[in-house]
Amino acid sequence: MTQDIVILAAGKGSRMKSALSKVLHKVGGVAMVRRVLATANTLADSKLHLVVGHQGEQVEANCQDFSANIVWQNDPQGTGDALRRVAPFLQADGATLTLYGDVPLIRASTLEKMTSLSTSNTLVLLTISLDNPIGYGRIVRSDQGKVTAIVEQKDASESQLAIKEVNTGILLAPNNHLQGWLAALTNNNAQGEYYLTDIIAMAARDGVDIVTVNPENEAEVAGVNDRVQLAALERELQSQQAISLMQNGATLLDPSRIDIRGELITGQDVIIDVNCIFEGKVVLGTGVEVGANCHLKNCTIGDNTIIKSNTLIEESEVGEDCDIGPFARLRPGTQLANKAKIGNFVETKKARIGEGSKVNHLSYIGDTEMGANVNVGAGTITCNYDGVNKHLTQVADNVFIGSNTSLVAPVQVAEGATIAAGSTITKQVGEKQLAFARARQTNKDNWPRPTKK
Ligand code: UD1
Ligand code: CA
């Protein structure tokens, strides 16, 4: 069956106390509403509608890449009112699935379970039984166990308040009936709102089957109203992600101390020590080890590479069997070939480092193309910036660069060359040449040391 998916995101979110729209606050590094859109997008034959209102420009601007039909709900008057504004865009056949922009952890598998039950004469509700149902709409059933209505907390009788089965808000309704039901909604209730949930009683009256599905876990249907709930869902998601990494063959020295804000793909026997942060898309090859307190963002790390503690890697590609850190910083555009070594307090940027080359201590290597088996002495830097433009440093294979060398770009050092320690290199160094570019040492005999006056 074809599907319209409506994501409600017009609410005020005042308890967030934020200039940012509630649904743009992030869980696991991704805006809540973007998580919902991404999940919805995985469902077959679906057309997305995003209902925006309060801070709607922000929401619209941040979700453009999903090409959802943006429906404005200025002056929101309830969930039923929201659906009514989408009604003109709904397909004639099929069904409409309603989701919430502030319920970010809903799973595609649960939604698929719902859609598998959908027919032109069936309404599917996602419900859950809660020990503490306060605040939720209650699922009212007949003596035969059939759902007959949803009653909102504020409109419920004493006996209805005792019902533990609640409405998660997520429901799937057949379009052939939905249009009529939406048109018939009224706001004669405790909140003076148009309740989407009033369509349940109409469906029961019209002889439509009302079936219920339960989510796999409570977190799937948990909504975020304030930053305390946001933090709770963040922990929940991190814990789920940690479990799935371990199930895929990664060792986490403490699964409660890892943060994945995006997508982390791990090969077999990856070992991750505590307090590491992974952002964007990070791929760790087989046997990769990541030490404590590392921060990796949008990077690929080859098999058996070891990243020691307190290393930061961004927008970089690292080969196999490399050795990085501790305290290394690989900035965007760094490419390390296999077996390269980047040691402590080394910063690289837009730098290609060839196979087996070593930059072991206290260096800055930027805008550089470096060949294989180069040894870069401690304290060596590329002077890549003249105050206006960036320039390239090219170092061929098997070069030896003495400690504390400045390579003033643009400059080339040819294959097999050697640079004496402390040199300031401003001119090309030829193949196998030795370059000295420092003041010659002068020694004076019998130097009289100063004496105390
Ligand atoms: C709703 C359900 C309730 C359910 C609960 C689950 C109704 C009438 N009630 O209640 O049965 O147990 O969710 O959390 O549907 N929104 C709009 N436009 C509006 C109103 C709301 O976009 O005019 C959006 C809000 O941004 C929010 C969501 O819809 O994301 C739910 O709205 P909210 O006011 O929180 O509904 P509840 O009263 O919690
Ligand atoms: Ca709510």
Q: Is 194 exposed, middle or buried (0-12, 13-18, 19+ CB in 10 A)?
A: buried
Residue 81's pLDDT is 98
79, 105, 128, best to mutate for ligand 1 pocket (most atoms within 8 Å of CB): 79
Check pocket membership of 364 for ligand 1, CB cut-off 6 A. Answer: no
CATH number of the domain that residue 347 is part of? 2.160.10.10
Residue 1, pLDDT > 80, answer no
Whether the CB-CB separation of 96 and 118 falls below 8 Å is answered with: no
Rounded to 5 degrees, what angle do the CA atoms 324, 325, 327 make? Answer: 150
**Structural domain contains residue 451:** no
Mean pLDDT value of segment 424-449: 96
Whether residues 162 and 271 share a domain: the answer is: no
Residue 48's pLDDT is 98
The domain in which residue 273 lies consists of: 227-435
Whether residues 143 and 30 share a domain: the answer is: yes
Check pocket membership of 197 for ligand 1, CB cut-off 6 A. Answer: yes
Query: From the CB of residue 100, how many other CB atoms can be counted at a distance below 10 Å?
Result: 23
Whether residues 174 and 253 share a domain: the answer is: no
**Predicted confidence (pLDDT) per residue in 60-96, tens digit:** 999 999 999 999 999 999 999 999 999 999 999 999 9
**Predicted confidence (pLDDT) per residue in 289-314, tens digit:** 999 999 999 999 999 999 999 999 99
Check pocket membership of 81 for ligand 1, CB cut-off 6 A. Answer: yes
**Predicted confidence (pLDDT) per residue in 309-331, tens digit:** 999 999 999 999 999 999 999 99
**Predicted confidence (pLDDT) per residue in 104-137, tens digit:** 999 999 999 999 999 999 999 999 999 999 999 9
**Structural domain contains residue 28:** yes
**Structural domain contains residue 448:** no
Whether residues 304 and 196 share a domain: the answer is: no
136 CA → ligand 2 middle, Å: 8
Residue 146, pLDDT > 90, answer yes
Whether residues 132 and 262 share a domain: the answer is: no
Q: If you take atom 23 of ligand 1, which residue's CA is the nearest one?
A: 78
Query: In which band, very low, low, confident or very high, does the pLDDT at 42 lie, cut at 50, 70 and 90?
Result: very high
Q: How far is 142 from 223, CA to CA, in rounded Å?
A: 28
**Structural domain contains residue 331:** yes
Mean pLDDT value of segment 215-230: 96
Q: Is position 25 annotated as part of the catalytic site?
A: no
Residue 121's pLDDT is 97
Residues with Cβ < 8 Å from 234, sequence gap 6 or more? 27, 28
- Tell me the average pLDDT of the chain: 97
**Predicted confidence (pLDDT) per residue in 176-218, tens digit:** 999 999 999 999 999 999 999 999 999 999 999 999 999 999 9
Residue 357, pLDDT > 80, answer yes
Q: If you take atom 13 of ligand 1, which residue's CA is the nearest one?
A: 169
Q: How far is 138 from 132, CA to CA, in rounded Å?
A: 12
Whether residues 215 and 238 share a domain: the answer is: no
Helix (H, G, I), strand (E, B) or coil at 83: helix
Residue 58's pLDDT is 97
**Predicted confidence (pLDDT) per residue in 90-113, tens digit:** 999 999 999 999 999 999 999 999
**Structural domain contains residue 366:** yes
Check pocket membership of 76 for ligand 1, CB cut-off 6 A. Answer: yes
223 CA → ligand 2 middle, Å: 7
Give the number of domains in the chain.
2
300 CA → ligand 1 middle, Å: 41
**Structural domain contains residue 450:** no
Strand 406-408 relative to strand 381-383, pairing: parallel
Whether residues 75 and 162 share a domain: the answer is: yes
CATH number of the domain that residue 85 is part of? 3.90.550.10
Residue 12's pLDDT is 86
Check pocket membership of 82 for ligand 1, CB cut-off 6 A. Answer: yes
Check pocket membership of 198 for ligand 1, CB cut-off 6 A. Answer: no
**Predicted confidence (pLDDT) per residue in 337-354, tens digit:** 999 999 999 999 999 999
195 CA → ligand 1 middle, Å: 8
Ligand nearest to the CA of 136: 1
**Structural domain contains residue 453:** no
Mean pLDDT value of segment 401-429: 98
Whether residues 61 and 191 share a domain: the answer is: yes
Helix (H, G, I), strand (E, B) or coil at 44: coil
Check pocket membership of 150 for ligand 1, CB cut-off 6 A. Answer: yes
Pick the atom of ligand 1 nearest to 196's CA: 15
68 CA → ligand 1 middle, Å: 20
Residue 32's pLDDT is 98
Residue 262, pLDDT > 80, answer yes
Whether residues 207 and 231 share a domain: the answer is: no
Task: Determine which one of 49, 54, 177, 361 is catalytic.
Answer: 361
Q: What is the pTM of this model?
A: 0.93
Whether residues 301 and 180 share a domain: the answer is: no
Whether residues 217 and 328 share a domain: the answer is: no
Whether residues 25 and 132 share a domain: the answer is: yes
